[in-house]
Structure 1
């Protein structure tokens, strides 16, 4: 991972508010929320449906506008930037893993992974090299030419993780990354995310409703009604074979 100033927190959110309005009805989705995430942390956000988990992720990453407060990523105030600058900053410093894999069906695995690199101006040869390295890192070196329809759900999610990491992001946002997977596939994906955090220092913030996943991360945040109601550090035993996903389906 790219070296960065380790003394400064990676994410600082202060007094963040998000309000959804429908006619005369206003719903506060995030209510004066404060959060600090340091480099190298693996953080899970849990809470009941409607508590604001996905809204939090979208606002902290700059995908959604906010109605108040401040969000800094890697020392940059996201909402002080013009839209174009924020989009470029997001493309260069963030990676995204979604519940829906969002892969392009007609592209192979390596083409899906290299596309975001090409869009930010990476030379084609370098984009292909980095895509192949990341696919091998997530255990899919033997599937680089396969299209999404030729892969299992777990394999497709590993492609999205490779895509998120190929640009060497400062932070990866993962919204219910195991939500569409069975328990065995979910375990493989979490093994991989935990290994990337533990072995390479990748900062990851993930949203989940799954208590088993919440139990696997060193820091667990709970939300209710748009507020953080709990923020705990957990002891997580190191798994001996974590991060070594099986090669097959």
Structure 2
């Protein structure tokens, strides 16, 4: 896919949270275009609307006004069921809290999204193992989350996000629960996936060091985009331990 082709086009997106007579505008007429193959970071102070932005652009939350298109499909012109299916087939999600199923092995956690959309079990397992190997966990596929370090658990969630070959991956504070060394390993992986495989990624972070590593950085304040920077990101030495050791 041509890297100049828009993948995501959001126009005039408005989101209001209401509690009784109180209304809070979380997104205020926001416009954003993300092209195929971009790695975009989103930063801003607490309450600026970063997570709301991801939730609305992915269709997890409804919007009050505006339009969101992913690969030419208007998310909010779909029924709830169609939007859920579209999200399952075209998007991957990485969360700060991992959200792994404790009683499942790494391989079972990764293959689950494929099974839910009807992939045959043998094919789902094959793709899960291949994706875990891609993120450096080929030797940990039978381990449960409690047997993995924080960095390893986050790489399982990245594998789970990638296994369906999504058009876009949404990452909400993916390094927020990790120490500096493990955060560097996770960011190395995300940057490699973007650069080497052209994976489109939109990443929310509060960490300036993480923000400095993305080629495009958006800053938010009060539900609006206030800055859109294209950054030169030099090559950096990779962390050598990809095992996510304890």
TM, length-normalised to structure 1: 0.96
Runs of 4+ in 1 over 4 A off after TM superposition: 4-7
Instruction: Give the match's secondary structure for 1:196.
Output: helix
- How far apart, CA to CA, are the structure 2 residues paired with 1:129 and 1:97? 21
Change (3 A) 1:150 1:70: same
Question: How far apart, CA to CA, are the structure 2 residues paired with 1:213 and 1:7?
Answer: 24
| Deviation of the 1:140 alpha carbon | 0.2
Q: Structure 1 residue 167 and structure 2 residue 164: aligned?
A: yes
Aligned match for 1:112, one of 109, 114, 117: 109
Q: Deviations over 1:109-155 (max 9, x none)?
A: 00000000000011111100100000000000000000000000000
Number of aligned residue pairs: 245
Which residue among 206, 209, 231 is the counterpart of 1:209?
Answer: 206
How far apart, CA to CA, are the structure 2 residues paired with 1:55 and 1:240?
Answer: 34
Contact kept, 8 Å, 2:105 with 2:145, in 1: the verdict is yes
Task: Report the Cα offset of residue 212 of structure 1.
Answer: 0.1
Partner Cα separation in structure 2 for residue 241 and residue 37 of structure 1:
27
Q: Following TM superposition, by how much is the alpha carbon of 1:7 offset from its aligned partner in structure 2, in angstroms?
A: 5.4
Residue aligned with 1:178, SS:
coil
Cα shift at 1:238: 2.0
Show the counterpart of 1:247.
243
3-state SS of 2:131 partner:
helix
Secondary structure of 2:165 counterpart: coil
List gaps (5 residues or longer) in structure 2.
none
Q: CA deviation at 1:67?
A: 0.1
Distance in 1, Cα, partners of 2:244 & 2:24:
46
In structure 1, what is the Cα distance between the partners aligned to 2:51 and 2:190? 19
Q: Kindly provide the CA deviation profile for residues 5-25 of structure 1, in whole angstroms up to 9, marking residues without a partner as x.
A: 655300000000000011111
1:86-122 CA-to-partner distances (Å, cap 9, x unmatched) read 0000000000000000000000000000000000011
Q: Is the 8 A contact 1:192 1:245 kept in 2?
A: no
Number of the residue aligned with 1:228: 225
